[in-house]
């Protein structure tokens, strides 16, 4: 009580503010009399009022602004409302609305969130990091804004992504809010439209590259590792070459992962594993084709290979089950424009067009990670439907406007036979009297649980086997009822329980591999569960 702000200050502290829920006793003790309306409204009524305000707004971007403003003034009410209405509100605070919020970030800016680092901070990152008020940060999400969703280089506007991701860490996995740190490596932007915008708030120069870029990242990683040695560092929305370089550089040095590469992979793998229960195809017999060969697609491929190897398939044979298409066609041997991460999947095969490749190779699963809308055309979906009784189609590009096809198109063009999943949400679709519920293969099903498990056991690093365990745990949460509706993922309403299951499996794998710093408790699930944040107002009268 003695350390609690009083009066006007407590009303402007988002971690303590209860607004109209302050009791009579709290109002007396904290000097709040006269500063609030007479009526005491508990959090239940506040949530009703919050939802009324959200729903009366005409546009999703307005709803986003309202929710972020709520987070700024009343943290408990924000997270309680989000958790209790996750299916309605997650699309507002994350994909697809966060894409528009990032594009308009400088124009809707209200209050600063997170931590910004620019080239001018070189040599003093450790010093300025002490300006952050929290000393027990456990989850850091960092981006340089160069490849925000499917929208490209948004520079410092990309801060909306770490803020959104960390909101989901709290809501979906119960990470303590004060333990979250969003970071923007604002190294400039090559987006001339932003540089010409007088309201743009980022570093007003072209992006630094090469050694200058690498040295700034190294200084940042060293600084956060020194100040927050227990923190998990999540790399987010980096351009493919930098994404792989940073993952390869730091994955064994510090507790870190790349969500676009590894998180996306785990979600996709879980969806593929769940799809077998509908199609009846054995996992070890599967053939998968990708449209897109960047970090997300190749990350999925690498984890699928690891899963096939784990199932007893030789690694070279496992790679032969996966086929990639990029802007230049099928990824095959002899092409001179392939990046290093593509080379393991360059097969000895003639060059084919996309539809021709589907008809020839006959994949069971089609995965899109292109950022290019409409690339799963009617001809593509019909080709998949010709070679499969139940074609499995993942249109994973975000936001919704960038999806390779819509749920409606997938079901109509396949005559209702497609098993469809997407990165952003689509409404259920009725086709010829049957209601199909498309699964949302969103990384929010994986990364919160990964983070919770990693910090619960104080993992030294996150291994591929941990992501395999997380994917398996997610696939196990898909019920027969979900599958009957054509959904490859559990409902978002169960996401906190899903995250807990993933956290338990990851932590157990960490202990099994000798990669955890803490002793394994007798009841792992109970131990992790009691760590999870529950948004309840504190009793400030004590």
The residue annotated as part of the active site, out of 18, 64, 94, 505, is 94
- Give me the residues paired with residue 419 across strands: 392
| Backbone angle region of 502, left / alpha / beta, with phi > 0 → left and psi within -120 to 50 → alpha | alpha
DSSP 3-state of 68: helix
98: which 2 tokens? 């966060």
CA distance 285 to 282: 5
Q: Is 527 a catalytic residue?
A: no
CA dihedral 440, 444, 450, 456 (to 10 degrees): -130
DSSP 3-state of 359: helix
Q: Is 94 a catalytic residue?
A: yes
Closest CA to 122 of 184, 207, 212, 183: 212
Cβ contact 405:372 at 8 Å: no
Q: Is 58 exposed, middle or buried (0-12, 13-18, 19+ CB in 10 A)?
A: exposed
Angstrom CA distances, 209 to 117, 188, 213, 249, 538, stand at 15, 10, 5, 16, 47
| Exposure of 522 in the CB half-sphere (CA atoms within 13 A) | 0
List of residues 6+ apart from 400 with CB closer than 8 A: 95, 96, 422, 424, 425, 426
Angstrom CA distances, 482 to 438, 486, 492, 505, stand at 10, 7, 12, 22
232: how many CB neighbours lie within 10 A of its CB? 28
Angstrom CA distances, 156 to 70, 199, 257, 367, 412, stand at 22, 12, 21, 30, 40
Dihedral sign for Cα atoms in the order 58, 64, 67, 73:
negative
527: which 2 tokens? 């131990």
The residue annotated as part of the active site, out of 18, 64, 116, 165, is 165
| Exposure of 71 in the CB half-sphere (CA atoms within 13 A) | 22
139: which 2 tokens? 């989850």
CA distance 505 to 472: 9
Count H helices and E strands in the chain, helices first. Answer: 23, 14
Angstrom CA distances, 173 to 415, 448, 536, stand at 38, 5, 15
CA distance 157 to 200: 8
DSSP 3-state of 482: helix
Angstrom CA distances, 106 to 102, 127, 239, stand at 8, 27, 22
CA distance 240 to 217: 16
| Exposure of 516 in the CB half-sphere (CA atoms within 13 A) | 21
* Residues marked as catalytic: 94, 165
């Amino acid at each position: 009580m003695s350390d609690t702000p009083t009066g006007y200050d407590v009303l402007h502290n988002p971690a303590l503010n209860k607004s109209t829920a302050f009791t009579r006793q709290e109002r007396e003790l904290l000097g709040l009399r006269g500063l609030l309306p007479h009526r005491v409204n508990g959090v239940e009524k506040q949530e009703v009022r919050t939802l009324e305000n959200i729903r009366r707004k005409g546009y999703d971007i307005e709803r986003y602004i309202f929710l972020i403003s709520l987070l700024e003034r009343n943290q408990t009410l924000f997270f309680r409302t989000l958790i209790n209405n996750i299916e309605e509100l997650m699309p507002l605070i994350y994909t697809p609305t966060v894409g528009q919020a990032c594009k308009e970030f400088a124009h809707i800016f209200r209050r600063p969130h997170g931590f910004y680092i620019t080239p001018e901070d070189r040599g003093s990152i450790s010093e300025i990091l002490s300006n952050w008020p929290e000393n027990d940060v456990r989850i850091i999400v960092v981006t340089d804004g160069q490849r925000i969703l499917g929208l490209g280089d948004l520079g410092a506007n990309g801060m909306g992504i770490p803020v959104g991701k960390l909101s989901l860490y709290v809501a979906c996995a119960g990470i303590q809010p004060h333990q979250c740190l969003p970071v923007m490596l604002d190294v400039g932007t090559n987006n001339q439209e932003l540089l010409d915008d007088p309201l743009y708030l980022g570093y007003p120069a072209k992006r630094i590259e090469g050694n200058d870029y690498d040295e700034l990242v190294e200084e940042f990683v060293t600084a956060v590792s020194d100040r927050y040695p227990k923190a998990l560092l999540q790399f987010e929305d980096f351009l493919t070459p930098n994404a792989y370089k940073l993952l390869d550089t730091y994955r064994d040095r510090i507790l870190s992962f790349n969500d676009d590469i590894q998180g996306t992979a785990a979600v996709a793998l879980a969806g593929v594993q769940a799809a077998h229960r509908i199609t009846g195809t054995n996992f070890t017999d599967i053939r998968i084709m990708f449209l897109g060969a960047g970090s997300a697609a190749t990350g999925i491929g690498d984890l699928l290979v690891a899963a096939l190897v784990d199932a007893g398939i030789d690694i070279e044979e496992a790679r032969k089950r996966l086929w990639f298409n990029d802007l230049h066609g099928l990824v095959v041997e002899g092409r001179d424009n392939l990046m290093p991460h593509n080379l393991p999947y360059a097969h000895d095969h003639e060059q084919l067009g996309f539809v021709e490749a589907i008809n020839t190779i006959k994949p069971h699963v089609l995965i899109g990670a292109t950022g290019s809308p409409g690339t799963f055309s009617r001809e593509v979906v019909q080709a998949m439907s010709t070679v499969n009784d139940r074609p499995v189609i993942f249109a994973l590009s975000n936001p919704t406007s960038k999806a390779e096809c819509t749920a409606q198109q997938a079901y109509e063009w396949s005559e209702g036979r497609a098993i469809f999943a997407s990165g952003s949400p689509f409404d259920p679709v009725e086709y010829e009297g049957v209601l199909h519920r498309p699964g949302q293969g969103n990384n929010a099903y994986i990364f919160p649980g990964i983070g919770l498990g990693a910090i619960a056991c104080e993992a030294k690093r996150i291994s591929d086997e941990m992501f395999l365990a997380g994917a398996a745990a997610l696939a196990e949460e898909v019920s027969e009822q979900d599958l009957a509706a054509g959904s490859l993922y559990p409902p978002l309403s169960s996401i906190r329980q899903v995250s807990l299951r993933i956290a338990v499996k990851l932590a157990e794998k960490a202990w099994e591999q000798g990669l955890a710093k803490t002793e394994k408790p007798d009841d792992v699930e109970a131990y992790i569960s009691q760590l999870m944040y529950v948004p309840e107002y504190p009793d400030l009268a004590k």
